[in-house]
Structure 1
Amino acid sequence: MRPTVLFAGRPDDWPVYAPALRAALKAAELDAELVHHADDPARVDYIVFDPNGPITDFSPFVRCKAVLNLWAGVERIVTNPTLSQPLCRMVDDGLRQGMVEYCVAHCLRHHLDIDRHVLNQDGVWRGSDLPPLATERTIGILGLGQLGAAVGQALAGLGFDVAGWSQSPKDIAGIACASGPEGLNQVLGRAEILILLLPLTDRTRHILNARTLDLLPRGAVVINPGRGALIDDTALLEALGNGRLRHATLDVFTTEPLPPDHPFWAHPQVTVTPHIAAVTRPESAARVIAENIRRGERGEPFLHVVDRARGY
């Protein structure tokens, strides 16, 4: 029997994802029926899921073998009480490469203090303001999963001293790895540039708050392409105001789109980007989805299965 694959995303995404998914399924030698509406949910074998899509109740999908998330983050679905099927998060080369490029670009921007020159084209020669070399700069990364590890190793390859923290112990070449409460304090205490790439769970919500921000070296920079609620916005604004932080580059926010009247927009020490650091790209995401469907049809373990207890 041909498996039925339901694309449960926004209607305007269907014309973009449909050809990519069909091509990936064909390349994986899968004869599947791809649909964007299910008249009978009981006939659906796999759900390609967008958290902004139409499905909130998974209980009618009694034959569904897996829910395949289009996003790396799963906080908007993992606690859904109707979800009984295996949930797989998106881990693909396009997301990884996009995140590496975003983080490296903004680290170099702040490391070299490029804004000082770009924003001050005023005829003043500031040739004495030499930045340190990468080997003299410590970058901290909170979160050493697929994305955090890739970003850390890319920065280490440029010569930066990279210190990383994760909730469970890790051993990653080029990164001084730490875990646990004391490890978090140590990484924060060294991080002249801090990148947040943690999943959002009850344990990581507001992990950057008044206490932890105060551990950073004075004049540090925060870059957040992970999840908006990892940061207490009020504490961040206070740290920028009192000089504890030099700058914050933010790609994700507790409320998105960021409201027009939010103080981040007009703050001279905040850079706002519109959640573009790691965007799911249909072609590369479709290959990951097709591989998981292939595995499901052959009775093999799925890739990137979410641990419900941990929340990611």
Structure 2
Amino acid sequence: MAVLLSTKAHTMEDWKAALLAVDPSLEIRLFPEAGAPEDIEAAVVWTAHDMMELRRYPNLRLIVSMGAGVDHLFRPPGPPPGVPVARLVDTRLTQGMTEWVLLNVLRFHRQDLEYRDQQARRVWHELPAPETSARHIGIMGLGELGSDAARALRALGFPVMGWSRRPKQVEGVETFHGPDGLLAMAARADMLVCLLPLTPQTRGIINARLLGAMKPCGYLLNAARGGHQVAADLLAALDSGHLAGAALDVFEPEPLPPDSPFWSHPKVILTPHAASITIPASAAPQVVENIHRAREGRPLINLVDFAAGY
């Protein structure tokens, strides 16, 4: 039996080497060279892979997403019926996301946009010192990524709030839940950080109503999915001055079209869906563990809840 590997071409060999380093006995086939369809028992895939194509493999018993998000696997027609899907919960992936959040929170907090503008204009002017304890950060999503970012922000002295669809408790974080709770948190937030999974319930959640509920001159950080943000509403909030800035790692569609106004917007810091990139050597052990569990009929780790969508 074989494992099908399908990801970006330039990382395919790295993933193969990382998986074989954990278990040299694995037979790994690089898509599209899958060989006999009946040989494939597991598919380790990323966002560009066609879900319909996976229905060609009659003995498929496991699909593994190469990232924390799995919304790409739910695009029609979705995974083959009855085949379990696992996602990655990896310490290095989590650390990378927390680094991106800290980088951009501090960039806005320490007035980096303003100082870069002054530099471009050759202006020597000291801005008022920011007060960390007065800068309230609201995190949308209190899963593995959101909880870790919250802890790191608290360690720097920021007051941190967090929102989830259902009630949750995170030490040292004031928590909110439900639609009313999200607006209540936004009303007190100087910065909103979106780390939510993309589901039908969260699509378009960063809209005019939510942005309008924020304090004037606030900031938005989105490293979750482009489908969370309504681009026209976000641009309107930036252009009106209600938002002072945005750090955006995700867009819809991706790659971001060359004519998108986000590219040149003076209040936008833009990265190409690179906030946290999965490192094969770090993630491979849990992928191999799940392959072994699937073979042996044991419970899988980090199994996706199809009802919840993540």
Q: What SS does the aligned partner of 2:35 have?
A: coil
TM-aligned CA deviation for residue 82 of structure 1 = 5.0
Q: Name the residue aligned to 1:308.
A: 306
TM-aligned CA deviation for residue 119 of structure 1 = 2.7
* 1:68 aligned residue (64, 67, 80): 64
* 1:35 aligned residue (25, 29, 38): 29
Q: What SS does the aligned partner of 1:221 have?
A: strand
Q: Name the residue aligned to 2:171.
A: 173
| Structure 1 unmatched ranges of 5 or more | none
Q: Name the residue aligned to 1:127.
A: 126
Change (3 A) 1:251 1:128: closer
Q: Is the 8 A contact 2:51 2:73 kept in 1?
A: no
Q: What SS does the aligned partner of 1:271 have?
A: strand
Q: Name the residue aligned to 2:159.
A: 161
Q: Name the residue aligned to 1:192.
A: 190
TM-aligned CA deviation for residue 245 of structure 1 = 0.4
Q: What SS does the aligned partner of 2:56 have?
A: coil
Partners of 2:212 and 2:20 lie apart in 1 by 51
TM value normalised by structure 1: 0.92
Q: Name the residue aligned to 1:232.
A: 230
Q: Is the 8 A contact 1:57 1:82 kept in 2?
A: no
Change (3 A) 1:107 1:58: same
* Farther-moved stretch of structure 1 (209-218 vs 288-297): 288-297
Q: Name the residue aligned to 2:103.
A: 105
TM-aligned CA deviation for residue 51 of structure 1 = 2.3
Q: What SS does the aligned partner of 2:220 have?
A: strand
Q: Is the 8 A contact 1:142 1:148 kept in 2?
A: yes
**Sequence identity of aligned pairs in percent?**
37
Q: Name the residue aligned to 2:47.
A: 51
Partners of 2:295 and 2:45 lie apart in 1 by 18
TM value normalised by structure 2: 0.93
TM-aligned CA deviation for residue 280 of structure 1 = 1.4
Q: Is the 8 A contact 2:211 2:237 kept in 1?
A: yes
TM-aligned CA deviation for residue 125 of structure 1 = 4.0
Q: What SS does the aligned partner of 1:76 have?
A: helix
Q: Is the 8 A contact 2:113 2:267 kept in 1?
A: no
Q: Is the 8 A contact 2:118 2:124 kept in 1?
A: no
Q: Name the residue aligned to 1:136.
A: 134
* Farther-moved stretch of structure 1 (78-87 vs 204-213): 78-87
Partners of 2:299 and 2:69 lie apart in 1 by 21
TM-aligned CA deviation for residue 8 of structure 1 = 2.5
- Say if 2:77 is the partner of 1:83: no
| Structure 2 unmatched ranges of 5 or more | none
Partners of 1:305 and 1:246 lie apart in 2 by 39
TM-aligned CA deviation for residue 11 of structure 1 = 4.0
Paired residues in the alignment total 305
Provide Cα deviations, 1:134-191, integer angstroms capped at 9, x if missing partner: 2221000111111111111111111111001011211111211111122111111111
Q: What SS does the aligned partner of 2:161 have?
A: strand
Q: Is the 8 A contact 2:51 2:80 kept in 1?
A: no
Change (3 A) 1:94 1:82: closer
* Farther-moved stretch of structure 1 (224-233 vs 62-71): 62-71
Change (3 A) 1:59 1:214: same
Q: Which amino acid aligns with 1:172?
A: V
